[in-house]
Structure 1
Amino acid sequence: MMSPVTDTAEGISRQLHRALTHRHIHFIALGSAIGTGLFYGSSGAISAAGPGVVFVYLLGGAVVYFMLRALGEMAVANPVAGSFAEYCRRYLGGWAGYITGWMYAFEMIIVCLADLTAVALYMEFWFPDTPSWVWVAVSLIIVAAANLASARWYGELEFWFTLVKVTAVVAMILGGAAILVFNVDTGGSPGISNLWNDGGVFPNGVSGVLSSLILVLFAFGGTEVIGVTAGEAKDHETAIPKAINTVPVRILLFYVLAILVIVSVTPWREITGEESPFVQIFSSLGVGWAASLLNVVVLTAALSAINSDLYGAGRVVFGMAREHLAPSVFARLNPRGVPVTTVSAMLVVLVIGVALQLWNTTAADLFTSIAALATFATVFVWLMILLAHLASRHGWGDRPPVDPDTLTFRVPLWPWGQYLAIGVIVLTFGTMAWMADFRSALVAGVVFIVSMTLLYPLTRRHARPGVSRTASRA
């Protein structure tokens, strides 16, 4: 276990408050897997793989599950600030913790930029003449207020955001099922036969499957925030396992079943990406205001993503600062247990980033270009989590292996589930190198790793050997 914080400065000696209840953790876990990647991004995955994309979502879901179980095992045993960045530092070494934490912060910032510009894009639907910066500002005010107030307010906001998203997905599934069961006339040709009667289950072959795999894994990005909440959960030994154990059901219901309904009701070639597959389902039911309804949902999904990403990145960088892997100013907490300096700095970066990008390009172009950059960072962080878990169990380096008998929440199918997840992630990297559409994201990720590695010696200069900290309060 880690020793308590020993700093004398008041702002640094404060600790995170355990303010997140089981309800918060459960809905954070639920909402983290439901975002714009499902509501809009699913059309790209369907176009790439065809009806067989259902199996790609199953494979991607398996990767996410084993990654989260690995993270959950470490988080329940050691609920620390910084979460997976700290586990990587502990079991893989200083550089691994450093690069994982900053890669996650990088991922969250660019995803936030994409979602902020998406908010501006969505609001144009109702207010085409209002400048984009107005909606960006309103969005930042909402999520900043929740994140700067306390972890509890972040959890409350995420609870209501998730409730809207879950309701939309369930409504779409029930609507699509009604079309199939009662043979509703939609003007098209709905039916289970759409899964195989137009080129087969995988009409675009291996290349289509691999291309869709990248999009599917990106859609699952953000689920690792469950581990970050361990340091502020009131009952992490119960709340975290319960939340992670719902992952298979959530993936089967909100992704696999939703996509299965979509490709059954609408032939896959008709899902062009010009509108969300969800809009097509509601339109088939004669819901004339389907576009307006979905706009509310995707707007909620974008705000939810910004809310969670800001929270996750802030806590990870805070934990890194406590280990001298980030500037020490980011290790300060206000009396409410919020890393206000870290969250404020990220808000400033977001404001500058959005301002520069909106000045140079349109919101629609910006969303597409920025979102592509997050793919590499997402799977890289997952890979480092899995490697840290393997290192903890096998005792790589100077540390003795963790005794499985001392663990209250252990991964299933050890170690084959971990090897499967790592294999799929490595395959994803290979696909990004092979396919020109994703090569720029791979190059950007490698450049970021190299650049941050060159800065790593600066952090070592300020590190104090033998000092290990925690920032959680029971």
Structure 2
Amino acid sequence: MAQHELKRGLSNRHVQLIAIGGTIGTGLFLGSGKAIQLAGPSIIFAYLIVGLAIFFVMRALGELLLSKAGYQSFTDIAEDYLGPRAAFVTGWTYWFCWIMTAMADVIAVGVYVQYWFDIPQWIPAIICLIILLGFNLLTVKLFGELEFWFALIKVITILALIGIGIILLVMGFKTDAGTVTVQNLWEHGGLFPNGISGFLLSFQMVVFAYVGVELVGVSAAETSNPEKNIPSAINKIPLRILLFYVGALVILLCVNPWTELSAAESPFVKTFSLVGIPIAAGIINFVVLTSAASACNSGMFSTSRILFNLGKNDQAPLHFAKLNKNHVPSNALWISVLVLSVGALLSKLIPEQAFGIVTTISAICFIWVWGVILICHLRYKKTRPQLQAKSKFKAPFTPFINYAVLTLFAMILIIMLVAEETRPALLLTPIWFILLFTLYSNRRKKEKNIKLSA
């Protein structure tokens, strides 16, 4: 018997940990090394600013999702408030966002494995894809369990890192790079050692570190109690940002001067190496490896569900809207994984540049998606005040905060255009949107011709 509906197999603990797993990943564990080299200790402020902006985006998304029972993702919201063209472009762009993000995670898996084994990056990347595909083809509950344990490992590790860092601070521990002290935050060129320009240039990687936070919205269709679980997950985002991002980075930068950390490796692993605990460094490398696998797992989940909804809404081939006996969109999953394998190819062809290229494209496309959420929320507030008045989960400070966050996103795109390293990816990304608008227009013309001929 054909299956037509996604199964609500995720419990509250699954949704909560999916939200954590989506926000703590490669962007923090690997990408923060590059961001630290650009901004120095001021990277802490960059994470605070972008994290606050993302929280307001999520509050807007949460209010929209709960305003109508039929919404399964923000693609449905985009169609309702901005029309089918916007839904088509946003749905496919969100799929592309997660494809790029998961590619970065696959590339990171190869980097982490090289810590132990001198093998090409693409080999462990392919192995990781095959294993995760097997898990995702089973049940959504199994995905939730896998992500639950992945996220739990990350949480425990970061908490342990913060705890150990505090102990080292109290002891005044001596590392290969000097004494563990809070003064490391400003004694090596100040809080802004590379000036305002370095601080601004770090925003691209900081944005990438937060991609996936909206996965709690994509999982809304498969949670057993969205009215309770979605607000709970969203409202805990600020605490997670302060603890897992800001807290962890403050400790890292106190334990070792920012000048000792490298853009080419995980600062978490490097910190324990500098402290002189090689076994701990190996353990941390294992954790960041599972983190990359976790983020890739989230990417597979997200891309398959997006393609499923696109197919169901007649914005993609109907083939993608079919579910297997386990209520999993297996056709959509297979296609997404095949495209994801390009990440392994990139790690073979351009191992030095691959991570930077895909993270930049991912950040740009996520800014589009987050911007659409904010614009839809503005339309919701203006055109459906009766729904907004009845909302039990109102987004704060609207509409002013919507415009403020949109302005921040525009500034980040301008920074990417100015920066030599991110400019090529920014200039190439519009090709994707031109392609989508063209495909949609051609699709509409064919539909009109079919109606006329009928």
Interval of TM-score (by shorter of Structure 1 and Structure 2):
over 0.9
Partner of 2:382: 394
Partner of 1:169: 158
Partner of 1:374: 362
In the alignment, structure 1 residue 146 sits paired with structure 2 residue 130: no
Mark the CA change 1:264 to 1:463 in structure 2 (over 3 Å): closer, same or farther.
Answer: farther
Partner of 2:311: 321
- In the alignment, is the contact (CA less than 8 A) between 1:118 and 1:302 conserved in 2? yes
- In the alignment, is the contact (CA less than 8 A) between 1:62 and 1:421 conserved in 2? no
State the distance in 1 between where 2:198 and 2:352 align. 25
Partner of 1:266: 256
Partner of 1:68: 58
The CA deviation at 1:196 is 2.4
State the distance in 2 between where 1:47 and 1:134 align. 29
The CA deviation at 1:256 is 0.6
User: What is the aligned residue count?
Assistant: 447
Partner of 1:96: 86
Partner of 1:201: 191
Partner of 1:438: 422
**Alignment equivalent of 1:290, drawn from 267, 276, 280:** 280
Mark the CA change 1:461 to 1:328 in structure 2 (over 3 Å): closer, same or farther.
Answer: farther
Q: What amino acid does structure 1 have at the position aligned with 2:5?
A: Q
State the distance in 1 between where 2:265 and 2:317 align. 44
Partner of 2:436: 452
Query: Which piece of structure 1 moves more, 208-217 or 110-119?
Result: 110-119
Q: Secondary structure at the match of 1:200?
A: coil
Q: What amino acid does structure 2 have at the position aligned with 1:346?
A: S
In the alignment, structure 1 residue 215 sits paired with structure 2 residue 199: no
Partner of 2:4: 14
Write out per-residue CA displacement over residues 141-190 of structure 1, whole angstroms, 9 at most, x where no aligned residue: 32212222121111111001111111221111112111212211224033
State the distance in 2 between where 1:375 and 1:431 align. 12
- In the alignment, is the contact (CA less than 8 A) between 2:360 and 2:426 conserved in 1? no
Mark the CA change 1:433 to 1:389 in structure 2 (over 3 Å): closer, same or farther.
Answer: same
Q: Secondary structure at the match of 1:437?
A: coil
Q: What amino acid does structure 2 have at the position aligned with 1:370?
A: V
Partner of 1:418: 402
- In the alignment, is the contact (CA less than 8 A) between 1:189 and 1:267 conserved in 2? no
State the distance in 1 between where 2:393 and 2:56 align. 13
Q: Secondary structure at the match of 1:273?
A: coil
Write out per-residue CA displacement over residues 392-414 of structure 1, whole angstroms, 9 at most, x where no aligned residue: 1112xxxx445322212111222
Q: Secondary structure at the match of 2:115?
A: coil
Partner of 1:181: 170
State the distance in 1 between where 2:417 and 2:263 align. 25
Alignment of 1:313-352 (within 5 A): 313-351=303-341
State the distance in 2 between where 1:200 and 1:459 align. 56
State the distance in 1 between where 2:184 and 2:205 align. 22
The CA deviation at 1:134 is 4.5
Mark the CA change 1:117 to 1:194 in structure 2 (over 3 Å): closer, same or farther.
Answer: closer
Q: Secondary structure at the match of 1:436?
A: coil
Question: What residue ranges of structure 1 are gaps of 5+ in the alignment?
Answer: 1-9, 465-474
State the distance in 2 between where 1:57 and 1:355 align. 29
Mark the CA change 1:154 to 1:83 in structure 2 (over 3 Å): closer, same or farther.
Answer: same
Write out per-residue CA displacement over residues 202-240 of structure 1, whole angstroms, 9 at most, x where no aligned residue: 222221121111211111011111100100000111111
**In percent, how many aligned pairs have the same letter?**
38
Mark the CA change 1:382 to 1:144 in structure 2 (over 3 Å): closer, same or farther.
Answer: same
State the distance in 2 between where 1:284 and 1:122 align. 18
Mark the CA change 1:443 to 1:80 in structure 2 (over 3 Å): closer, same or farther.
Answer: farther
State the distance in 2 between where 1:348 and 1:239 align. 32
State the distance in 2 between where 1:357 and 1:185 align. 40
- In the alignment, is the contact (CA less than 8 A) between 2:172 and 2:179 conserved in 1? no
RMSD: 2.1
Q: Secondary structure at the match of 1:289?
A: helix
State the distance in 1 between where 2:205 and 2:308 align. 30
- In the alignment, is the contact (CA less than 8 A) between 2:26 and 2:104 conserved in 1? no
Mark the CA change 1:229 to 1:461 in structure 2 (over 3 Å): closer, same or farther.
Answer: farther
The CA deviation at 1:428 is 0.8
State the distance in 1 between where 2:46 and 2:310 align. 35
Mark the CA change 1:202 to 1:342 in structure 2 (over 3 Å): closer, same or farther.
Answer: same
Partner of 1:471: none
Query: Which piece of structure 1 moves more, 435-444 or 15-24?
Result: 435-444
State the distance in 2 between where 1:358 and 1:265 align. 32
State the distance in 2 between where 1:52 and 1:340 align. 44
Mark the CA change 1:430 to 1:284 in structure 2 (over 3 Å): closer, same or farther.
Answer: same
Mark the CA change 1:424 to 1:347 in structure 2 (over 3 Å): closer, same or farther.
Answer: same
- In the alignment, is the contact (CA less than 8 A) between 1:32 and 1:222 conserved in 2? yes
State the distance in 1 between where 2:128 and 2:71 align. 26
State the distance in 2 between where 1:79 and 1:28 align. 21
The CA deviation at 1:366 is 2.9
Query: Which piece of structure 1 moves more, 257-266 or 228-237?
Result: 257-266
Write out per-residue CA displacement over residues 355-411 of structure 1, whole angstroms, 9 at most, x where no aligned residue: 64355x15454334333321211211111111111111112xxxx445322212111
Write out per-residue CA displacement over residues 297-339 of structure 1, whole angstroms, 9 at most, x where no aligned residue: 1211111111101111111221122221111211122232211
State the distance in 1 between where 2:355 and 2:208 align. 14
- In the alignment, is the contact (CA less than 8 A) between 1:179 and 1:285 conserved in 2? no
Query: Which piece of structure 1 moves more, 404-413 or 64-73?
Result: 404-413
Alignment of 1:205-284 (within 5 A): 205-284=195-274
